[in-house]
Structure 1
């Protein structure tokens, strides 16, 4: 009898220990706010662009949802560093991607997940809701090194932003994924080739706005808009024909959220860093956020103060 009690005691302690380990990896849980989240990322879209560009679709999301034009990228203010931070919930100090075109971490990642990279929102979703569909459709090939390819149901590298959006929306409509990341390469191309703040740059910004309008129209037509959250953001802005520096024109990015459970709050007071995007997506989907992430959900957007 004593032997049985001893074994039972050891078993209970073991179970408690395992539960403790698991709870140390993840924090917080609640019911999902929306059925799905779509993250739209526009490369090189500086927050300053809103001062001159005609972007009626984005402004509609801003006014009927919530936004900040003072959200910030991590440093250096360049592409791979910030796209990684956006979906990895942490900065380069932890995920290790430190350069514009990083394909592997220059600094060893602090945590290595099941996908053999620093865990993204995709691996968090895969672990907690393994049956949920998820996908990535992107125009810049560099995105392909920043997520767990073995965990997504769509991995598509389009030749143009229009093709990228078309493929993403076909996937969304058919498969009803819980999370989709759509990456657009404009207006970064124009920023490098002609220059930031040029007529060509603003024209490209307006082209991105039109594609956002197409995404919203498709969701509305298919009756999916009412249970979807859209987040629009960017990796960086720029000056002249470059980026990567410490000026506000390079660092300040738009951050817009709209849809299910998002009251019309307009301009946000919160200080937002790009790695808060992953945390906000996790919160919206009712996921437990890894405690090794450094981002925090922008909970202000979900609170109706009326």
Structure 2
């Protein structure tokens, strides 16, 4: 005579089998690493500038965070195409902005978001953090064509880089935004007028270094730095009075990350392209990135030596 299986054991077995391979919500949902991200972009700031310019404040961020002086722009190595790539998480073959001064895509965008353009990091925040504040303060008016204006709480075109920085800081301190993109027009203007790799160019680069520490010091003074990640980068470098070429002097850009949950790893080994910036911001804020983005987060920047991030 066969014995009947224990009903309790069967139930436990079924629960174990059905639960196998399933992760809890806490394991599958991305976790935010910081409350605030400040993206600082300096137009025409080639990575080669670190060889000659005095940049104590940026170097301090590099030493106490992570950096690469071999990050690359997309081609062509010019302004609108690269600023678009930086915040759109993809290259020009997908977002369609292909020229120095693109105001609309020359190539049809592969995806059109609810903002009427290829979706930027601002649209991700708008979808997944609808209550969060976000803003853009920029010195070059060309930036104004590259983000969803109806999704930001600050849309300011400053006349000078100092005015641009001050407006951004006022917004950050007052509104505590999830993301603020600060765009400086220099040293690009000096590079075009006088030339890259000139004493005047390096003096302008050093002026950007001073603006960066002004931002860092203000965040520290307002007790926000511990909850903030700062990313500093550029769109391209340059040779002579131009840009857009295929040399490393034109293509290699600085990529510096500093702040909350960014250990002092120093130089990063990751291969970084400018569209990885948007994906890294999404990773910091705990957002899910869309499949059509090509960028990937620079997770190495958040690793403690000997320990991989979750």
* Root-mean-square deviation over aligned CA pairs: 0.7
Aligned to 2:77: 77
Q: Distance in 1 between matches of 2:227 and 2:150?
A: 27
Q: Does 1:163 align with 2:163?
A: yes
Aligned to 1:304: 304
Runs of 4+ in structure 1 deviating by more than 2 angstroms, as ranges, are: none
* Count of matched residue pairs: 279
Aligned to 1:23: none
Aligned to 2:40: 40
Aligned to 1:109: 109
Q: Distance in 1 between matches of 2:189 and 2:115?
A: 30
Q: Does 1:174 align with 2:199?
A: no
Q: Distance in 2 between matches of 1:121 and 1:171?
A: 18
What is the TM-score of this pair, normalised by structure 2? Answer: 0.89
Equivalences for 1:213-228 in 2 at 5 Å? 213-228=213-228
Q: Distance in 2 between matches of 1:56 and 1:137?
A: 24
Please state whether the residue corresponding to 1:70 is helix, strand or coil.
strand
What is the TM-score of this pair, normalised by structure 1? Answer: 0.91
Please state whether the residue corresponding to 2:295 is helix, strand or coil.
coil
Q: Distance in 1 between matches of 2:38 and 2:283?
A: 14
Aligned to 2:295: 295
Unaligned runs of at least 5 residues, structure 1? 1-27
Aligned to 1:203: 203
Please state whether the residue corresponding to 1:289 is helix, strand or coil.
coil
Equivalences for 1:131-280 in 2 at 5 Å? 131-280=131-280
Please state whether the residue corresponding to 2:264 is helix, strand or coil.
coil
**Cα shift readout 1:74-121 (whole Å, capped 9, x = no counterpart):** 000000000000000000000000000000000000000010000000
**1:305 CA displacement:** 1.0
**Cα shift readout 1:6-58 (whole Å, capped 9, x = no counterpart):** xxxxxxxxxxxxxxxxxxxxxx7411000100000000000000000001110
Equivalences for 1:109-128 in 2 at 5 Å? 109-128=109-128
Aligned to 1:16: none
Please state whether the residue corresponding to 1:290 is helix, strand or coil.
coil
Q: Distance in 2 between matches of 1:181 and 1:290?
A: 20
Aligned to 2:16: none
Q: Distance in 1 between matches of 2:282 and 2:171?
A: 21
Aligned to 2:14: none
**Cα shift readout 1:209-264 (whole Å, capped 9, x = no counterpart):** 00001000100100001110000000000000000000000000000000000000
Q: Distance in 2 between matches of 1:216 and 1:47?
A: 21
**Cα shift readout 1:134-174 (whole Å, capped 9, x = no counterpart):** 00000000000000000000000000000000000000000
Structure number with larger C-alpha Rg? 2
Q: Distance in 2 between matches of 1:64 and 1:291?
A: 33
Q: Distance in 1 between matches of 2:175 and 2:124?
A: 20
Q: Distance in 2 between matches of 1:203 and 1:182?
A: 20
Please state whether the residue corresponding to 2:202 is helix, strand or coil.
helix
Q: Distance in 1 between matches of 2:57 and 2:89?
A: 27
Q: Distance in 2 between matches of 1:190 and 1:204?
A: 7
